């Protein structure tokens, strides 16, 4: 027996994404997309309204080029990169030294938060115009026995009295504004209360490190431009006044440490000079004594003009070398020998040493008396010059130390912006809208890509399975059930509740079944007998709905129709036709009754009907009994068409047994419920039993935009009848 399924090659577009169909899927799921987007948008609006506004204070600081003390002022011309370096200053501003001083000055270890209703309380109080309470604490120290962050609840009694409670307290403590409250592990002083009586505050004592880290998270420093020396300080928080005071404190503390650092550097240089001056003065006195003694010994020898000139040059070189020595003492504290500034100083020293060597060589050619007088005079003049230089610089350093201003200047004091910087309501709402839209579209696309059910006849035709009809879902039937029960029934409830061929014969589903009748007429022309079996791949495919309504439509053509419910497991056509299941097929096959007694006349639909009968324990064995074959042979001779409704083939093998006696077999597939693989397996299972499946009926097709855009020629929805009818 040749297989109905042919291995047709897939169409070139079968693996490509159909953009039109995806658009159709989005249109089909528009309610889901709109609902999810609306939910996210509403949540974003609620967040924007109820979120605590965050304000931002900013200040501007200028870091000028670092000025050395009097000993190295002249080195500024030698520095290759004299622009200010902002990176160390930014790190210094964010250091625990500066922020810790601010925490101590403003007592930021006391974390104060007014008690509100959870989540929405603070926002509702702000929206309703309730004034936020103010509580200023000058001193706080709490000890928790369990080692956790200690916390108490402060309740306002009036403007001058309060009481505190908490887990760390054995009983409530009462306090007065301006007075220190000390008891047990609590030390608290409240400076000011501006709140309604009964207002409660959570007062938490943070460790100093936690307070510094918390401040650091809200504080930021940015350089306005590379090497401009302009630093922009920003601090965010919910309390505009507090963040302004905090940022001002940070700026002041940074300026104070900078001035202190500058004064300390001058003090260190001044100390160095104070140690050198006595020694230089002593050396000068010794040099003068030696010169005077030599002149007395040599009868007041005077220097010649040539010697005088050489002496002036030597003294000048020595003075420069001494000055470089002082400079090197300062530079060695700032730079290494590989730094360009240090290298320039060493190069200059080498030049002076070379010049000094030339002068010494020149002096060595003079008479011995002149050389000795020159040497002693050089020591006196050099010592006197060095001594006067050190005296002048000592005075300069004393003045600099007393008037130190540092190299930092506060350009703009801290100012809190009047409008909050967070949350940005418009952006939050737009994010919620976009996020909801993307999430909902993602859900839809995920469902589309994970969907494996049949959603078009072309999927079956690609497998070589003929599709005789595509039966849409009856919208009229759904509306009737909603009107009766107030909710949409399940598929099985809908099928049990109404018989569509009688109640609404113009329904699109019935029109599709009429088309099936025409196709079936030509399909059965070459059949071996007039027995038609309708089965399904799986339960709830709608085979009973198709077979019962098809029987009613065929009976309208003056044909004698016998409808047999061969589903002796879960058959329910007796409920559909309002007949009992007694004296049914199972009773006949068991030999308890005769065929004439089993057949029930249905005048309303003009065909005969055999119900399933009593539920038997062995349905397959009954169908394999000779009585079933005899029943079908008798019915084939006495009726124009015998229609048999069978159980699904993938669930049980009843349909395979019945199919041996049927000349025509049709398979019902449920739209988007049965997969193409299930139908393919069902057809092969029939073939293994020697049953040829003529084709398939696609049932429960839903009118979808995706079907319209993806397969325009298979889109249905037309009607051709008078509206009055």
SS3 string of 674-701?
Answer: CEHHHHHHHHHHHHHCCCCCCEEEEEEE
DSSP output for 255-301: HHHHHHHHHHHHHHHHHHHHHHHHHHHHHHHHHHHHHHHHHHHTTSP
pLDDT band of 237, cuts 50, 70, 90: very high
pLDDT band of 326, cuts 50, 70, 90: low
CA–CA dist 367, 418 (Å, integer): 87
Are the beta carbons of 643 and 564 closer than 8 angstroms? Answer: yes
CA–CA dist 481, 490 (Å, integer): 10
Are the beta carbons of 620 and 595 closer than 8 angstroms? Answer: no
Are the beta carbons of 162 and 175 closer than 8 angstroms? Answer: yes
What sign for the dihedral angle of Cα 642, 643, 649, 654? negative
For 189, the enclosing helix (H) or strand (E) is strand 186-194
* DSSP 8-state assignment for residue 471: E
pLDDT band of 126, cuts 50, 70, 90: confident
CA–CA dist 309, 38 (Å, integer): 98
Least confident of 23-27, 378-382, 597-601, 713-717: 713-717
The pLDDT > 70 percentage for the chain reads 79
Pick the closest to residue 687 from 717, 655, 648, 714 (CA basis).
655
- Reply yes or no on domain 460-714 having CATH 3.30.420.40: no
For helices 240-297 and 96-106, the axis angle rounded to 10 degrees is 130
Pick the closest to residue 123 from 48, 205, 190, 70 (CA basis).
48
Are the beta carbons of 524 and 532 closer than 8 angstroms? Answer: yes
26-85 pLDDT tens trace: 887 889 999 999 999 999 999 999 888 999 999 999 988 765 444 444 444 444 444 456
| pLDDT above 60 (res 498) | no
419-442 pLDDT tens trace: 999 889 999 999 999 999 999 999
Higher pLDDT, 349 or 717: 349
| pLDDT above 70 (res 2) | no
Query: Distance of alpha carbon 529 from its chain centroid, rounded?
Result: 67
CA–CA dist 249, 113 (Å, integer): 22
Are the beta carbons of 636 and 644 closer than 8 angstroms? Answer: no
Higher pLDDT, 189 or 483: 189
Domain boundaries in the chain? 20-51+423-449, 56-259, 265-411, 460-714
For 708, the enclosing helix (H) or strand (E) is helix 705-710
**What is the rounded average pLDDT of the residues 206-219?**
93
* DSSP 8-state assignment for residue 18: -
Cα 140–Cα 144–Cα 150 angle in degrees, nearest 5: 55
Are the beta carbons of 298 and 292 closer than 8 angstroms? Answer: no
| pLDDT above 70 (res 312) | no
From the number of C-beta atoms within 10 Å of its C-beta (0-12, 13-18, 19+), residue 323 rates as middle
Q: Is the backbone of residue 414 left (phi > 0), alpha (psi -120 to 50) or beta?
A: beta
pLDDT of 715: 40
| pLDDT above 60 (res 299) | no
The pLDDT > 90 percentage for the chain reads 32
Extract the tokens encoding 273.
Answer: 């000079």
At 724 the three-state DSSP class reads coil
Extract the tokens encoding 459.
Answer: 């999927």
190-207: burial string, b at 16+ Cβ within 10 Å, e else: beebebeeebbbebbbbe
């Amino acid at each position: 027996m040749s297989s109905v399924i042919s291995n047709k090659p897939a169409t070139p577009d079968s693996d490509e994404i159909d953009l039109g169909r995806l658009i159709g899927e989005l249109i089909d799921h528009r309610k889901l997309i709109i609902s999810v987007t609306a939910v996210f948008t509403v949540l974003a609006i609620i967040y924007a309204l109820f979120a605590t506004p965050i304000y931002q204070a900013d200040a501007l600081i200028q870091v000028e080029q670092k000025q050395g003390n009097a000993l190295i002022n002249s080195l500024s011309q030698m520095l290759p990169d004299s622009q200010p370096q902002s990176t160390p200053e930014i790190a210094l501003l964010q250091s625990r030294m500066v922020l810790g001083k601010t925490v101590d000055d403003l007592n930021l270890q006391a974390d104060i938060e007014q008690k509100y209703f959870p989540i929405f309380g603070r926002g509702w109080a702000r929206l309703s115009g309730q004034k936020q309470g103010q509580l200023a604490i000058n001193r706080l120290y709490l000890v928790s026995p369990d080692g956790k962050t200690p916390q108490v609840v402060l309740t306002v009694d009036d403007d001058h009295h309060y009481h505190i409670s908490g887990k760390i307290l054995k009983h409530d403590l009462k306090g007065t504004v301006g007075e220190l409250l000390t008891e047990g592990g609590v030390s608290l002083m409240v400076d000011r209360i501006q709140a309604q009586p009964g207002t409660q505050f959570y007062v938490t004592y943070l460790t100093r490190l936690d307070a510094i880290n918390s401040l650091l998270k809200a504080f930021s420093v940015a350089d306005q431009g590379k090497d401009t020396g302009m630093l922009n300080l920003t601090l965010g928080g919910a309390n505009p006044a507090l963040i302004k005071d905090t940022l001002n404190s940070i700026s002041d503390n940074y300026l104070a440490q900078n001035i202190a650092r500058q004064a300390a550097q001058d003090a260190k240089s001044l100390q160095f000079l104070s140690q050198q001056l006595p020694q230089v003065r002593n050396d000068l006195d010794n040099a003068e004594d030696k010169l005077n003694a030599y002149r007395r010994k040599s009868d007041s020898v005077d220097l010649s003009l040539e010697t005088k000139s050489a002496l002036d040059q030597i003294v000048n070189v020595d003075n420069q070398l001494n000055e470089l020595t002082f400079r090197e003492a300062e530079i060695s504290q700032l730079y290494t020998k590989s730094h360009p500034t240090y290298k320039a100083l060493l190069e200059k020293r080498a030049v002076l040493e070379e010049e000094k060597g030339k002068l010494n060589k020149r002096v060595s050619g003079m008479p011995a008396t002149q050389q000795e007088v020159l040497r002693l005079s050089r020591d006196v003049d050099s010592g006197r010059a060095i001594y006067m230089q050190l005296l002048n610089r000592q005075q300069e350093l004393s003045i600099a130390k007393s008037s130190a201003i540092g190299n930092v200047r506060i350009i703009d004091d801290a100012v809190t912006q009047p409008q909050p910087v967070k949350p940005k309501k418009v952006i939050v709402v737009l994010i919620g809208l976009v996020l909801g839209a993307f999430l909902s579209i993602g859900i839809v696309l995920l469902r589309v890509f994970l969907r494996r059910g049949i959603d078009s006849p072309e999927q079956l035709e690609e497998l070589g399975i003929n599709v005789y009809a595509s039966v849409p879902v009856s919208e009229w039937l759904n509306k009737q059930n909603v009107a009766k029960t107030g909710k949409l029934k399940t598929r099985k409830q809908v099928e049990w509740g109404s018989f569509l061929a009688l109640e609404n014969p113009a329904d699109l589903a019935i029109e599709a079944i009429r088309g099936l009748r025409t196709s079936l007429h030509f399909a059965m022309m070459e059949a071996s007998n007039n027995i038609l079996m309708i089965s399904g791949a799986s339960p709830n495919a709608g085979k009973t709905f198709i077979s019962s309504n098809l029987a009613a439509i065929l009976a309208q053509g003056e044909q004698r129709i016998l409808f047999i419910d061969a589903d002796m497991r879960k058959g329910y056509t007796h409920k559909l036709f309002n007949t009992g299941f007694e004296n049914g097929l199972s009773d006949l096959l068991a030999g308890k009754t005769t065929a004439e007694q089993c057949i029930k006349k249905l005048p309303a639909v003009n065909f005969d009907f055999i119900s399933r009968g009593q539920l038997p324990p062995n349905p397959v064995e009954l169908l394999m009994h000779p009585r079933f074959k005899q029943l079908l042979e008798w019915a084939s001779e006495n009726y124009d068409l015998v229609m048999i409704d069978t159980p699904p083939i993938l669930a049980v093998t009843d349909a395979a047994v019945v199919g041996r006696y049927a000349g025509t077999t049709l398979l019902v597939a449920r739209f988007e419920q049965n997969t193409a693989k299930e139908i393919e397996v069902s057809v092969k299972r029939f073939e293994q039993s020697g049953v040829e499946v003529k084709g398939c009926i696609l049932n429960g097709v839903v009118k979808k935009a995706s079907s319209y855009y993806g397969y325009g020629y298979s889109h249905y929805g037309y009607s051709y009848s008078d509206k009055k009818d």
